Structure 1
Amino acid sequence: MHRFSANLGFLFTELSETKRIAAAAAAGFTGVEMHWPYQVPAPEMRSALSRSELTMLGLNTPVGNAAAGDFGLGALPGREGEFQQAVEQALSYGTAIGASSVHCMAGAVAPDDLVRAEQTFVANLKAAADRAAQASMTILIEPINHRDKPGYFLHRIEQAASIIEKVGRSNVKIMFDCYHIQITQGDLIRRLETHLELIGHVQVAAVPSRAEPDEGEVNYPEILRTLERIGYGGWIGAEYKPRGRTEDGLGWLRAWSKAVSGFSTAASA
């Protein structure tokens, strides 16, 4: 039974964060996930979730200094202290609102610094995973394509699997974003099959447009059948940029229901 989620960092963005939760509930979703909701006080966020009876799946670590081009800190040598502060902020906020996971963003690094970047990321993830375990939370890492984020350290699924092996913590998993993996590598079905045990979350969007997942080059009905066949039990997150109003583009949920034996809906980030 698939559980679909919607990324409230991309969906219902004409509304405030708390009103997006209510809109997601009205659209039939039962859970939410956000990127960086930290500007909303945690009690206010938790109250909105409670009123809508929605589950919060997860959030991202702060990116660092966005004005200077930061897009995560996890693999940046010399900035370990900042990364741990970002992890602490994410875990504390996530715990307060009932989230179950935190996506630790690696950041972009120079090509001549990849070895040190990996060493830094592994060490940082060990510490983050140990801290997350105290809160019964999962750490997610996500390969992101270089077309959208040039120089992003983590960009291949096999690289993520190797890093998780080196970290050696059972609560570190892969966020398998089909959009990013298709652009960088393709061969989605084989990679889902190969890395199933390490996948903590799956995300979808059209390729190359990143719009609703009902267009483009990925055969998502077959992806859904594959996930069902191999026994994936996690959420499938709709992390796409709507072509128009979010409500007007949700027809893909009805279409996808015909491709699997059954599904439930939820909203994610």
Structure 2
Amino acid sequence: MAHSFRPSVCIDAVLGELPVDEAVHLVSDAGIRAFEFWGWWDKDLEEIRVARDRFQMQISACCTKFVSLVDPSTRAQYLDGLRESIAAAQSLECRTLISQVGDARPGVSREEQHQCLVDGLKEAAALLDGSGVTLVIEPLNELVDHAGYYLIRSDEAFEIVRKVDHPSVKVVFDIYHQQISEGNVITNLTRDIDLIGHFHAAGNPGRHELTVGELNYRAIFDAIAKTSYDGFVGLEYWPIGDPVSGLAEVARWFES
């Protein structure tokens, strides 16, 4: 099935040992026209812009500066970092900022932390208004990779975004993380597709290529293609085979 959404490659994960120019070149050679990365503040943004333009690529996403959103004492610092991150994203013509939310606070009810997230994101939404940038919050798994993290399940992430009720605040649905946290990924992602601003994908177990493990990514991508979603799915994994061959195989899925 032809796909209206597109693949992107997280160069920090898939090609993290390589210089930016070489990594973007390899993504281009694999037949993928977009890339993303984690922090913008520890990179040479001009180098990224030059590589983007040289290989006629698009930057699909990067991360916002991060401090906890479930702790009201750090909210002002989070918002200051978001202001900087919006400016950086605009300078890169990048339309999506990815945000984690922080570890759960011991001794504080989930209800209080949930409300703190909603309140913080409502303040963030005011900064995003008119910026052309969407902020996406990321549920992670606590069983394998992120013990102690607050936001584990997609249903709570969707509930938070509904309460914020702003078109520039959505969810990044990481299929690898949600397979571990909750399973049932096709139903869970298609049911709330309008609240998803970005996807991440990796094989499970191991967080390797999409063709390794228990997830049938061709079926998952076909299910997404039947929805209204027209953004990116970021390939965020650590390859065990030749990186370019693995990327090229996924690129071919989007051509068929």
Match of 2:69 among 63, 70, 74: 74
What is the DSSP-based 3-state SS (H/G/I as helix, E as strand, rest coil) of the residue aligned with 1:211? Answer: coil
Relative to structure 2, which stretch is displaced further, 240-249 or 140-149? 240-249
Unaligned runs of 5+ in 1: 64-71, 264-269
Relative to structure 2, which stretch is displaced further, 27-36 or 104-113? 104-113
Unaligned runs of 5+ in 2: none
Residue 116 of structure 1 deviates from its aligned partner by 3.0
Encode CA deviations 1:161-199: one digit per residue, 9 max, x unaligned. Answer: 110111121111111111011100001111122111111
Relative to structure 2, which stretch is displaced further, 243-252 or 81-90? 243-252
Residue 159 of structure 1 deviates from its aligned partner by 0.3
User: CA–CA distance in 2 between the matches of 1:254 and 1:137?
Assistant: 26
Encode CA deviations 1:64-96: one digit per residue, 9 max, x unaligned. Answer: xxxxxxxx4222231112111221221111111
Counterpart residue type for residue 234 of structure 1 = G
Counterpart in 1 of 2:61? Answer: 58
Counterpart residue type for residue 187 of structure 1 = N
Counterpart residue type for residue 181 of structure 1 = Q
> In 2 relative to 1, CA 107–18 (structure 1 residues): closer, same or farther, beyond 3 Å?
farther
User: CA–CA distance in 1 between the matches of 2:73 and 2:153?
Assistant: 24
Counterpart in 1 of 2:126? Answer: 130
What is the DSSP-based 3-state SS (H/G/I as helix, E as strand, rest coil) of the residue aligned with 1:79? Answer: helix
TM-score, structure 2 as length reference: 0.90
Contact 2:30 2:245 (8 Å CA) reproduced: no
Q: Does 1:158 align with 2:155?
A: yes
What is the DSSP-based 3-state SS (H/G/I as helix, E as strand, rest coil) of the residue aligned with 2:89? Answer: helix
TM-score, structure 1 as length reference: 0.86
* Equivalences, count: 251
Q: Does 1:174 align with 2:177?
A: no
Counterpart in 1 of 2:92? Answer: 97
Identity fraction in percent: 27
Counterpart in 1 of 2:29? Answer: 26
Encode CA deviations 1:77-134: one digit per residue, 9 max, x unaligned. Answer: 3111211122122111111111101112201122432333222221221122221223
Pairwise CA RMSD = 1.9
Show structure 1 runs of 4+ deviating over 4 A.
none
Counterpart residue type for residue 127 of structure 1 = E
Counterpart in 2 of 1:204? Answer: 201
